[in-house]
């Protein structure tokens, strides 16, 4: 296990009625907030009114900024930066899923800088400051509520999708009430399930250490919890325990703890997925369920023991009859059972531009420090997605 420093400054308020503490926590950050959210579901289900009523009751003014898209864009975030600066807000609140939170993080950073937003995401400019951020999770998946990562698509140039991490982008406080997720469609929850699984499985598969029982057990426990929770949600979308376990698993999957100390831990599948959602509008979790089986096929010889361990310890396959191909087939079947695609055709991508995708994926790998993959390797993995 390699040396590491772990620090996570985000305070989590979890459970039924978690939003009752919103005004108290927001009041510590100022008197005026930019409220970032999506395309209207929070208005329909009354959550937005609950938020604004709570804040106004505490004398906190809110400037609403809706319209966050499933694959958040630079142009929308830049409009939010302008709104934050013009209204001289003290802090940012994100209400929704990863899209709203990524948009809010971009606004928080951009509001404290004169640099173009894409300079952060392309690695040209580090984030040096950001407005304080609170998050209210209504769609668990990305763990953006407890990490310092933001991901956006550059719709102003070439639809390249990229992400960066910074200690300035951690939310101060995040509110997680499982009851707020009851109305999330099962299909969207399935995409989130794929995303959550990938967050721990990438470091699990890329781990080059021979003895990391703590991190392996952490990853295995989270993936099994997500699978069990997903099964309960499919049967009953309003199953509180299923939704609660799913929500907490999402947060734990990508808050930095699971891959701390893991030698070789990286996220190549995320880098290879970004072009699918950036260029073709695919939901991130759906893109990951396309990429990961292909990545495992490509890695059959180099990561054989890790793949077999996954089959035994997570999928529950018989170790006496275990084959890499069987593990991959079982995972693929699971994706299809919950309703996520397993290849380009199932994802609705008919004629993917593999060269452009590989160029963007390789560029992201360089920006994020993911090594060991050439463009030719990426093209081989994409070919296995067909």
Last residue of a domain, one of 146, 180, 214: 180
Quick one: pLDDT band at residue 8, thresholds 50, 70, 90?
Answer: very high
Residue 159 sits in the same domain as residue 238: no
Residue 22 sits in the same domain as residue 159: yes
Lowest mean pLDDT among 37-51, 53-67, 160-174: 37-51
pTM of the model: 0.96
Residue range 206-230: average pLDDT? 97
Residue 232 sits in the same domain as residue 142: no
Please check whether residue 3 lies inside any domain of the structure.
Answer: no
For position 99, what pLDDT does the model report? 96
Pairing of strands 61-65, 149-154: unpaired
Residue 29 sits in the same domain as residue 119: yes
We report the CATH number of the domain holding residue 247 as 1.20.1090.10
Residue 146 sits in the same domain as residue 213: no
Pairing of strands 173-176, 32-36: unpaired
Quick one: pLDDT band at residue 39, thresholds 50, 70, 90?
Answer: confident
Last residue of a domain, one of 121, 151, 180: 180
Please check whether residue 313 lies inside any domain of the structure.
Answer: yes
The number of folded domains in the chain is 2
List all residues 6 or more positions away from 135 whose beta carbon is below 8 Å from its beta carbon.
Answer: 93, 94, 95, 101, 104, 144, 145, 171, 173, 174, 175
Residue 345 sits in the same domain as residue 255: yes
Please check whether residue 4 lies inside any domain of the structure.
Answer: no
- CA angle 248–251–256, rounded 5-degree value: 135
Residue 176 sits in the same domain as residue 190: no
Residue 175 sits in the same domain as residue 44: yes
Residue 112 sits in the same domain as residue 251: no
We report the CATH number of the domain holding residue 111 as 3.40.50.1970
Residue range 262-269: average pLDDT? 96
Residue 96 sits in the same domain as residue 234: no
Residue 161 sits in the same domain as residue 195: no
Please check whether residue 85 lies inside any domain of the structure.
Answer: yes
| pLDDT tens profile 79-138 | 999 999 999 999 999 999 999 999 999 999 999 999 999 999 999 999 999 999 999 999
Last residue of a domain, one of 110, 145, 180: 180
SS (H, E, C) 30-59: CCEEEEECCCCHHHHCCHHHHHHHHHHHCC
List all residues 6 or more positions away from 48 whose beta carbon is below 8 Å from its beta carbon.
Answer: 35, 37, 42, 64, 95
Range of the domain at 268: 186-383
Please check whether residue 1 lies inside any domain of the structure.
Answer: no
Please check whether residue 260 lies inside any domain of the structure.
Answer: yes
Residue 174 sits in the same domain as residue 200: no
Please check whether residue 265 lies inside any domain of the structure.
Answer: yes
Please check whether residue 371 lies inside any domain of the structure.
Answer: yes
d(CA 201, CA 257): 13
């Amino acid at each position: 296990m390699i040396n590491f420093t772990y620090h996570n400054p985000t305070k989590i308020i979890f459970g039924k009625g978690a939003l009752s503490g919103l005004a108290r926590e927001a009041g510590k950050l100022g008197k005026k907030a930019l409220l970032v959210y999506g395309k209207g579901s929070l208005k329909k289900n009354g959550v937005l009114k609950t938020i604004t009523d709570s804040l106004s009751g505490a004398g906190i003014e809110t400037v609403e900024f809706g319209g966050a898209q499933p694959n958040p864009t630079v142009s929308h975030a830049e409009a939010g930066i302008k709104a934050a600066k013009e209204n001289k807000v003290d802090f940012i609140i994100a209400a929704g899923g990863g899209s709203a939170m990524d948009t809010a993080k971009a606004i928080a950073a951009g509001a404290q800088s004169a640099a173009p937003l894409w300079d952060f995401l392309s690695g040209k400019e580090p984030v040096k400051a950001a407005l304080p951020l609170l998050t209210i999770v209504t769609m668990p998946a990305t763990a953006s509520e407890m990490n310092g990562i933001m991901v956006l698509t550059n719709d102003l140039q070439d639809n390249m999708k990229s992400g960066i991490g910074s200690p300035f982008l951690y939310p101060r406080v995040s509110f997680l009430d499982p009851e707020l997720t009851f109305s999330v469609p099962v299909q969207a929850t399935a995409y989130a399930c794929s995303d959550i699984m990938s967050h721990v499985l990438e470091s699990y598969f890329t781990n080059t250490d021979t003895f990391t029982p703590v991190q392996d057990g952490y990853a295995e426990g989270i993936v099994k919890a997500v699978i069990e929770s997903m099964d309960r949600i499919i049967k009953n979308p309003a199953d509180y325990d299923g939704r609660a376990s799913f929500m907490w698993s999402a947060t734990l999957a990508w808050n930095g703890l699971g891959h701390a100390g893991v030698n070789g831990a990286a996220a190549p599948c995320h880098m290879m997925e970004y072009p699918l959602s950036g260029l073709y509008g695919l939901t991130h979790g759906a893109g990951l369920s396309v990429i990961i089986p292909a990545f495992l096929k490509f890695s059959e010889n180099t990561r054989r023991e890790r793949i077999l361990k996954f089959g035994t310890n997570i999928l529950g396959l018989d170790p006496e009859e275990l084959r890499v191909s069987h593990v991959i087939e079982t995972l693929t079947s699971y994706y299809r059972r919950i309703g996520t695609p397993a290849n380009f055709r199932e994802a609705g991508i008919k004629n993917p531009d593999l060269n452009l995708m590989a160029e963007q994926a390789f560029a992201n790998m360089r920006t994020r420090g993911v090594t060991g993959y050439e463009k030719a390797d990426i093209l081989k993995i994409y070919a296995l997605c067909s």
